[in-house]
A and B are shown apart, each in its own frame.
Chain A
Amino acid sequence: MPHDRTGTKAAGTRQWVMALVAEYEQRLTRYAQRLTGDLHSARDVVQHAFLRLCDESPTTIERPGAWLYTVCHRRAIDVRRQAIRVLPLDTGDATSNGHASQPVYSRERDPRDAAELKDAGRALQRAVDLLPEAQRQVVNLWAEGFDYRDISQITGRGEAYIRVLMHRALTELRRHPIAQQLISDTALRNPTPRSPTPSP
């Protein structure tokens, strides 16, 4: 309803939304792309989330970061469900970064890939991509910087279940040679457990 968007309230909302766009747009796109496997859908998902955000206000949303991820998560799952019968299309120029032209979460194991992936982070992500869907989601959200409570809200799963999923995921990851190497590389650093991480 355009007429009630005028005035200071609308200006405030706009400022708030634009600040959140600046902060989250790219990360959300990347996250949605992981879920949908394609950048176009990811952008649609993100746009949907921000347009829904426009109908809210700072008073109705406590933690906009988690809220945005929640909306994106659900939307992306919906999008993927709808596309489930669909043959993958080569997205070619569809992605801005070259390596993501295929679904981000390809589950094929290819030892050559591991050898080629020199970048440690990418290698680790590759290992994450081999995890079962539920665990992968949880790990990805953890990597985005969320704590268990937020992950629970975003995925719509109970916190206890998140705890179990995260445990299983890390146990599985630890078996991966790349992860083992990375862990021993960083073993020299201070390994004490972190204090609870603030949500982004």
Chain B
Amino acid sequence: MNKAQFTAYALGQLSDAQRSKVEEHMDREETKQITQDAARLGALLRDARAAEPLPERAAALYAALDEHFAPPAPRKPWIHRFALPVALAASLLLNVVAMSYWLSLQHTHVAENKALLPPGEGGRRPDEGAAGATLLATHPHPSASLTPSPEGRGVDAAAGLPGSAGKFEMNPYAADKLVRDGGAIASAKPVETQALNAPALQVWNEGTIFESYRSALGIQGNETLNRNGSGTLSNPVLASSPLPSALWQTDDVQYFPPGQQFRLSREAAGKLVRSEGGDSRRGGIAVVAGTTMPAADSSPPVKQGLNTLTISGGNVYSGGITFSAPDIALDRLGRKPKVENFGYEAPLTQAPFNQPVVELRKANAKTLAAQGAGTAKQFPSLQTRTAGVAGEPQLTPAVSTPTAEGQMGRRQNTGGVFMDAFGAIVAPGIQTAVPPAAKPAIHPAPQPQPQLNTEAYDPIVENPFRRVADEPLSTFSIDVDTASYSNVRRFLMAGQLPPPGAVRIEELVNYFTYDYPPPSDGRPFSVAADVAACPWNEKHRLVRIGLKGREIDRDVRPASNLVFLVDVSGSMQPENKLPLVKKSLRMLVEQLTERDHVAMVVYAGSSGLVLPSTTGSERATLLGAIDCLESGGSTNGAAGLQLAYNTARDGFIKGGTNRVILCTDGDFNVGITSQDELVRLIETEAKSGVFLSALGFGMGNYKDSTLEKLADKGNGNYAYIDTEREARKVFVEQLSGTLVTIAKDVKIQIEFNPARVGAFRLLGYENRVLAHEDFNNDKKDAGEIGAGHSVTALYELVPIGDEAGLPGVDPLKYQPRPKAPAGGDDNHELLTVKLRYKEPEAEQSQLLEKPLVDDAKPLAQAPADFKFATAVTAFGMILRGSEHRGTATLATVAEWANNGKGADLQGYRAEFLDLVARAARLKKD
């Protein structure tokens, strides 16, 4: 008796049958004690939890929900709609102008670097000096922050007087001191105050901005900070002061010894980051059009800084600076830094002294949001912020207020960073020590780092339009796989758009069954072709080629020899993997008869045969073995595959279905992980008559590319199973198709009539395209078709005369002109479909041909299935971002699909419509 049963019994978690079983054992004192204790503990736990205090309700949640349910906002007046772009454009222009001006000044100052002050309009000199001091003071640059002792500050303050000595040593405290010791700097003070009190919008005035740049440059031009190579100040007093000033713990500016990492962050408006990253709070977009300047009356002028230029729209560019210094951990306010507000993280290495290039890493907003506070914890640091805190739901275009969070206001002084629209940071204060020869270059931000995702998709390069004059043939192998559709569905259901590489149009189209006439001439399948107008480009025609495999009655299905190869590695643990595999296999087992044989091989770090070949009628044994599957360990796919093939060969049924069914998430992380080696193994085995079907499960580290290749080479099919319903479709409704191959190496070649068709494009089948000469090469592997399967391929045709805009080669000089088609101009044939296939065990291929005549049908008269296939194709093109999608939008897709929905007995097409709606919602967000 399993002891866990007693606990379950005590907690009332057993069915009646199980209860009575347990009760048989209840006469023993020990068992009684166990169950009694368990029952009491169980009750105690619940009582204790009920008595536990609950956290407060979160207002943010209600706000987010209110916003979610809010009726659509009325259209804003035009001025609001344009305010943002205009503000952005203006600020961009300003920055560019200011930058170029600044850069040119750089040059000038190279020449003038002996001068104490840059030439200015006489009376304004002290002004510039003071503003420069403010900039430097408010900018906690490592150099400026070299921890002055009180005496050092005194020296600084004295030296910091504009125009005093040749050296202009300055630090934030010097600036404080400057202002505080009013008498000593009487000349500087009024001007400084004036600068600080300037209304925010005045900063828009170019002159003011220039002034601020110039002030910074004033310092620069004076070679104020004279450093040695390691970036320490040459001033003996400063250089020798080992500790931060007495104020370092209380002031907002942090002082670090040189060598610490220096980071700049951009506050991003929460909306974008959160909603995209799936993170939850939905704040409004912070729109800050204007410049932020702390209001002079909110705190003493000393605390102010002409420093924060906030240009934003959705994203707040700001002078928020984060210093990383692991040894000075601290949020001294005891606040948890909210790093999710920072869309940018810009590590400035300690080299800013001699490295003029300030590179900004444009962190992927998603990743950052997801990491959330994590980043902050990683770099315990002081966060300086500006207003426009992303959590605030709405900031209308306005000058933002600096003190979003009380005391935080002080921290804003540390900004002093300008960021241009390319995401590069221009920090005047930082570049004070740029060697005169080095011209600061501004690099655009590097590409965002991709979000960590280990799902693998091969990129798809779409088939281009081909001119019939250059190439009248199109050859490809059929593909009956449907995995891409279920995978796309999984993404959309999870509220995400699928990566373009995951969208294979032919697999989307073939997911649905179409009503083609079944074969009547003894062939394994029938071929149908029709043509109608192309809905996304009215000049074009759309050709549909449909294959329908012979149906095989379940009762006359040939005997099967199946080997389940189940991945039981640790990655298979989630509910949508191994447990779903078990459910799927149970469904399959229900369909088997005594003629079928089933074996089961599991693989993880090692592999083993858990069920030797057993007939399908021994259902209990089979189900028992399936129930025993447990996950754990790493994945050695190849060893298991070899064992499965050996097992299948041992029980080979001649004339029957011999198949290995691989159930995995595709992550082979031990042993042979090279696709080539796996593929070689599978190809060899496929020749011996054992085919391979791949069933993909799960997500996160799903390897779509591996599985598709394996099934393709193994003469099998590939399905992605995301739900029980999908498992039912594959294993119950379409079982014979899954198990019984009625024809293999099916290739299609289309010859176009150059008198009718100008150019053509095959929609989908990108990785199935064959060389034209391989069509008649029976050694060349191609797709298989199962019983009852239907295969659909669509071509978009450009009628003759309209192909002018398409890329092609120049008319050929020596080649014969395209001859009139065989039937002369009277030949109305658009194209001829040629098909080659082999019977499942044959080596010789057979040929089928079927011409198609264009009857100039509009789409409205096309069969419903045609319309539906069109809609699915267009959907695929949109998800993939195809350039050929023409006028197709998700709305038109929904309309076409609705027209072509037909009876839809199983509800698959209704589900497609739901997916289209979901995709539309996601695209809009």
Q: Which residues of A contact B (CB under 8 A)?
A: 1-3, 5-6, 10, 13-14, 17-18, 21, 25-27, 29-30, 33, 38-48, 50-52, 54-55, 79, 82-83, 85-97, 120-122, 124-125, 128, 139, 142-145, 147-148, 153, 156-158, 163-164, 166-168, 170-171, 173-174, 179, 182-183, 186-187, 189, 191-197
Are B60 and A47 within 8 A (Cβ)? yes
Are A89 and B377 within 8 A (Cβ)? yes
Are B58 and A43 within 8 A (Cβ)? yes
- CB-defined A-B contacts under 8 Å, sample of 18: A6-B72, A10-B69, A26-B54, A42-B55, A43-B60, A44-B281, A45-B280, A47-B58, A89-B377, A92-B334, A122-B52, A158-B579, A163-B4, A164-B4, A166-B7, A167-B4, A182-B40, A194-B11
With a CB–CB cut-off of 8 A, which chain A residues contact B817?
Answer: none
Give min CB distance, B750 to chain A, whole Å: 40
Cα of A144 to Cα of B344 in the assembled complex, Å: 40
Known contacts A21-B65, A97-B55; is-contact A191 B495 (Cβ 8 Å) = no
With a CB–CB cut-off of 8 A, which chain B residues contact A166?
Answer: 4, 7-8, 11
Query: Which of B39, B41, B281, B573 is packed against the most chain A CB atoms within 10 Å?
Result: B41
Known contacts A30-B54, A196-B12; is-contact A89 B376 (Cβ 8 Å) = yes
Cα of A90 to Cα of B70 in the assembled complex, Å: 37
Q: Residue B370 contacts which of A82, A87, A163, A187 (CB distance < 8 angstroms)?
A: A82
Are A148 and B13 within 8 A (Cβ)? yes
Are B45 and A143 within 8 A (Cβ)? yes
Cα of A52 to Cα of B242 in the assembled complex, Å: 54
With a CB–CB cut-off of 8 A, which chain B residues contact A46?
Answer: 58, 61
With a CB–CB cut-off of 8 A, which chain A residues contact B278?
Answer: 48
Are A47 and B64 within 8 A (Cβ)? yes
Are A124 and B282 within 8 A (Cβ)? no
Query: Which residue of B has the minimal Cβ distance to A44?
Result: B280
Are B12 and A17 within 8 A (Cβ)? no
Query: Which residue of B has the minimal Cβ distance to A120?
Result: B48
Known contacts A1-B920, A90-B334; is-contact A25 B12 (Cβ 8 Å) = no
Main secondary structure of the interface of A (DSSP, over half): helix
Cα of A170 to Cα of B39 in the assembled complex, Å: 10
Which of chain B's residues 8-64 have a Cβ closer than 8 Å to chain A?
8-13, 35-49, 51-58, 60-62, 64
With a CB–CB cut-off of 8 A, which chain B residues contact A148?
Answer: 8, 11, 13
Cα of A19 to Cα of B339 in the assembled complex, Å: 32
Cα of A183 to Cα of B34 in the assembled complex, Å: 12
Query: Which of A46, A82, A147 is packed against the most chain B CB atoms within 10 Å?
Result: A82
With a CB–CB cut-off of 8 A, which chain B residues contact A51?
Answer: 64-65, 68, 280, 282
Are A183 and B372 within 8 A (Cβ)? no
Q: Is B3 engaged at the interface, CB distance under 8 Å to the other chain?
A: yes
With a CB–CB cut-off of 8 A, which chain A residues contact B887?
Answer: none
With a CB–CB cut-off of 8 A, which chain B residues contact A3?
Answer: 72
Cα of A145 to Cα of B39 in the assembled complex, Å: 14
Q: Is B650 engaged at the interface, CB distance under 8 Å to the other chain?
A: no
Q: Is B81 engaged at the interface, CB distance under 8 Å to the other chain?
A: no
Query: Which residue of A has the minimal Cβ distance to B627?
Result: A160
Give min CB distance, B126 to chain A, whole Å: 45
Interface string of B897-925 (1 = CB under 8 A from A): 00000000000000000000100110010
Q: Is B374 engaged at the interface, CB distance under 8 Å to the other chain?
A: yes
With a CB–CB cut-off of 8 A, which chain A residues contact B236?
Answer: none
With a CB–CB cut-off of 8 A, which chain B residues contact A122?
Answer: 48, 52
Cα of A120 to Cα of B60 in the assembled complex, Å: 33
Give min CB distance, A127 to chain B, whole Å: 10
Are B40 and A156 within 8 A (Cβ)? no
Are A173 and B41 within 8 A (Cβ)? yes
Give min CB distance, A146 to chain B, whole Å: 10
Cα of A93 to Cα of B334 in the assembled complex, Å: 8
With a CB–CB cut-off of 8 A, which chain A residues contact B35?
Answer: 193
Query: Which residue of A has the minimal Cβ distance to B49?
Result: A143
Cα of A128 to Cα of B44 in the assembled complex, Å: 12
Q: Is B827 engaged at the interface, CB distance under 8 Å to the other chain?
A: no
Interface string of B63-98 (1 = CB under 8 A from A): 011001111100000000000000000000000000
With a CB–CB cut-off of 8 A, which chain A residues contact B13?
Answer: 147-148, 163, 196
Cα of A147 to Cα of B14 in the assembled complex, Å: 10
Are A2 and B71 within 8 A (Cβ)? yes
Are B10 and A193 within 8 A (Cβ)? yes
Give min CB distance, B289 to chain A, whole Å: 25
Cα of A48 to Cα of B72 in the assembled complex, Å: 21
Are A87 and B49 within 8 A (Cβ)? no
Are A30 and B55 within 8 A (Cβ)? yes
Are B279 and A44 within 8 A (Cβ)? yes
Cα of A171 to Cα of B506 in the assembled complex, Å: 55
Are A192 and B376 within 8 A (Cβ)? no
Give min CB distance, B248 to chain A, whole Å: 20
Are B374 and A82 within 8 A (Cβ)? yes
Are B64 and A163 within 8 A (Cβ)? no
Interface string of B388-421 (1 = CB under 8 A from A): 0000000000000000000000000000000000
Give min CB distance, A148 to chain B, whole Å: 5
Q: Is B380 engaged at the interface, CB distance under 8 Å to the other chain?
A: yes
Known contacts A33-B55, A186-B44, A191-B36; is-contact A85 B924 (Cβ 8 Å) = no
With a CB–CB cut-off of 8 A, which chain A residues contact B334?
Answer: 90, 92-93
Q: Is B888 engaged at the interface, CB distance under 8 Å to the other chain?
A: no
Q: Residue A195 contacts which of B6, B12, B62, B917 (CB distance < 8 angstroms)?
A: B12
Are A48 and B280 within 8 A (Cβ)? yes
Q: Is B378 engaged at the interface, CB distance under 8 Å to the other chain?
A: yes
Q: Is B574 engaged at the interface, CB distance under 8 Å to the other chain?
A: yes
Query: Which of B3, B47, B69 is packed against the most chain A CB atoms within 10 Å?
Result: B69
Query: Which of A14, A170, A192, A197 is packed against the most chain B CB atoms within 10 Å?
Result: A170
Known contacts A52-B495, A83-B373, A94-B336; is-contact A17 B42 (Cβ 8 Å) = no
With a CB–CB cut-off of 8 A, which chain A residues contact B46?
Answer: 142-143, 145
With a CB–CB cut-off of 8 A, which chain B residues contact A40?
Answer: 336, 373
With a CB–CB cut-off of 8 A, which chain B residues contact A38?
Answer: 373
Give min CB distance, B36 to chain A, whole Å: 5
With a CB–CB cut-off of 8 A, which chain B residues contact A153?
Answer: 575
Query: Which residue of A has the minimal Cβ distance to B921?
Result: A1
Give min CB distance, B57 to chain A, whole Å: 6
Are A18 and B43 within 8 A (Cβ)? no
Give min CB distance, B859 to chain A, whole Å: 27
With a CB–CB cut-off of 8 A, which chain A residues contact B496?
Answer: none
With a CB–CB cut-off of 8 A, which chain B residues contact A27?
Answer: 54
Cα of A142 to Cα of B45 in the assembled complex, Å: 8
Known contacts A142-B46, A144-B49; is-contact A21 B54 (Cβ 8 Å) = no
Q: Is B371 engaged at the interface, CB distance under 8 Å to the other chain?
A: yes
Which of chain B's residues 260-281 have a Cβ closer than 8 Å to chain A?
278-281
Q: Residue B281 contacts which of A17, A47, A189 (CB distance < 8 angstroms)?
A: A47
Query: Which residue of A has the minimal Cβ distance to B274?
Result: A44
Are B69 and A54 within 8 A (Cβ)? yes
Known contacts A79-B372, A144-B49, A156-B574; is-contact A183 B336 (Cβ 8 Å) = no
Known contacts A142-B42, A194-B43; is-contact A25 B373 (Cβ 8 Å) = no
With a CB–CB cut-off of 8 A, which chain A residues contact B71?
Answer: 2, 5-6
With a CB–CB cut-off of 8 A, which chain B residues contact A29?
Answer: 54-55, 58
With a CB–CB cut-off of 8 A, which chain B residues contact A6?
Answer: 71-72
Query: Which residue of A has the minimal Cβ distance to B53?
Result: A97
Give min CB distance, B572 to chain A, whole Å: 12
Known contacts A96-B56, A97-B53, A156-B574; is-contact A174 B370 (Cβ 8 Å) = no
